[in-house]
Chains A and B, each alone.
Chain A
Amino acid sequence: MKIGVLSGKGGTGKTLVSVNLAAASKRARYIDCDVEEPNGHLFFKPSNVVEEKVTLKIPVVDHTLCDGCRQCVSFCKFNALAYIKNNVIVFDDVCHSCGGCTLVCPRKAISEKDKTIGTIQKGISKEVDVWTGILNTGEASGTAIIHQLLEDVPSDELTIIDCPPGSACVVMESIKDVDYCILVAEPTIFGVSNLAMVHELVTLFNKPFGVVLNKCVDGETVAEDYCLKHNIRVLCRIPFEKKLGTINSNADIAAYHQEYNDLFTTLLDTVIKEVHHETTINS
């Protein structure tokens, strides 16, 4: 069972929900797809960490073979190649690694080398497998890291996928194969505006979903009103509490504290029931 946790807006509590759901389950896999700013590992502090590199193919031009026809330059849609002073120059940072230039070069002057854009770390924390994707600073896109992270995830056990904020390509890549989506929203007009975006996204991709309302305070009901209006299932309400805030800001796992264990165990049960329910009606 794969569950994606997303939010549109940043800072609403995706990592809080993902980490604690994985922790509340006895046995789970937590995958951090927020590769630009991965934080789940700060909570789990996994041990026995194994690291693998994520690389992309970047063109290398053999200037002795190049006759300056510039077909590579005109083919590249990303402007990653330029012909300057009788030489083809490669701008690694904007290259999308499509391999087009190597194909179009009539003199076979372009080959490819590996360029590391980030890493994947896999470790374990209690009964939770913790997988983290980390994009190197200065790199533009973490899509390849997310792809590699999710490539061979067995569907046997509970897998919680902590997604990046927003609703762009990286979020899509993260929820591609999930069975269920949890949308985390906060009760501000910003939170609602961004909840509406991810609501549209999961609807577009036909994913079953429910909402977790975080930082709930009396009187601020905009997010709740949105769910009511659109007939969206509210899975749980996490109160805005100083104690929970402190636990979380110290990268401590709330579900391991007696008083918050119930909250996340109940949420986990609710989500699992929802997924089974969805599977039944769709089969």
Chain B
Amino acid sequence: MKQLLILSGKGGTGKTTVASAFIKLSNAKAFADCDVDAPNLHLITSLASEPRKKKFYGLNKAKIDASRCVGCDACRSHCRFNAISVQQHYVVDEYACEGCGVCEFVCPQKAISMIEMVDGELMLYHDEEKVFSTAQLAMGSGTSGMLVTEVKKQLKEVDVDGELTIIDGSPGIGCPVIASLSGVDMVLIVAEPSISGISDMERIIKTAEKFSIKIAICINKYDTNNDNTEKIDVMCKEKQWPIVGKIPFDPQAVSAINQGKTIVDVECPAKEALIDVYNKTLTMLYGKQMEEIKK
């Protein structure tokens, strides 16, 4: 089974819109939402069954027992994350604490212990033939990369018979993105024709290239700024980044999403363009095997 990850660098370019359309077009048996910070894929692709819910424990957090603390300041002065402050007692800011355990180690009074913390929730939907893995990170948590890894691990718990796994990624280039990149066969980057979008696209491509993963680019809402679309065209040609298609801005796409539908559920110009992007992406992903799959 091949894994296709959808990323963008910049937020709001249309990752989830493209991912949901691909899931529908390919009738994907396995899919996941790795944007654990702001998951949305479940709003349009969730399966009818109730999900299995599981608490996600990230790293433990330090807790200071005030009755044992003598105020020596060793914990505060050793903490690299400024997570310990003195109020009436020494207290740990659980959002700043990264769970390294240094304070527990340096405390001469053994007043500090590391406590398990719920850092989010994992959801796994599955029916007879499909599996969908998603999660929601807890507010302010610093363990998004770990949770992304759990989302992908969870996907493998259910055996499904399919050729393609589609993964919706998160914006940015940091830990959740890096965690989502591991083990995928190809990344489809959804770009948009704005100066910001172009800068962000370059940064996500550089990130993907560091992990030697095959990439392709589609330009969404390409007709909202034709000059910038041309800039992307020129840049991609120069750097030999393959463009697999361009999707027009389509007001019907917004109303489809707001009704909980994918773009390919409604007849509109964006649908036609997306089908083309889909076919080209799969050809790249499978190479020669494509013909065999079609048979």
Which A residues fall within an 8 A CB radius of B? Answer: 8-12, 15, 36-37, 39, 42, 57, 75, 77-78, 96-100, 103-104, 135, 137-143, 147, 164-172, 186-190, 193-194, 197, 200-201, 204, 217, 220, 222, 242, 245-246, 248-251
Contacts and interface: CB of A to CB of B under 8 A. Distances in A.
Contact of B37 (A138, A166, A245, A249): A166
B172 A220 contact: no
Contact of A11 (B11, B82, B95): B11
B108 interface: no
Given A10-B12, A135-B173, A188-B254, A172 B140 contact: yes
Nearest to B16: A190
A39 B200 contact: yes
A165 B38 contact: yes
Closest 6 CB pairs of A and B: A10-B11, A11-B12, A98-B100, A166-B37, A249-B194, A251-B195
Contacts of A10: 10-12, 38, 171-172
Contacts of A164: 172
- Interface-centre pick from B38, B197, B254, B257 (highest chain A CB count, 10 A): B38
B255 A172 contact: no
A96 B98 contact: yes
B80 A99 contact: yes
Contact of A103 (B78, B82, B178): B78
B99 interface: yes
Contacts of B40: 9, 189-190, 193-194
Interface in B163-215: 170-175, 177-178, 192-197, 199-200, 203, 206-207, 210
A8 to B, nearest CB: 5
- Interface-centre pick from A37, A142, A170, A242 (highest chain B CB count, 10 A): A37
Contacts of B228: 249-250
Contact of B224 (A75, A98, A246): A246
Nearest to A7: B11
B254 A168 contact: no
Contacts of B196: 15, 37, 39, 42, 249, 251
Contacts of A189: 40, 43, 257-258, 260
Contacts of B245: none
Nearest to A93: B178
B142 A168 contact: yes
A194 B224 CA distance: 25
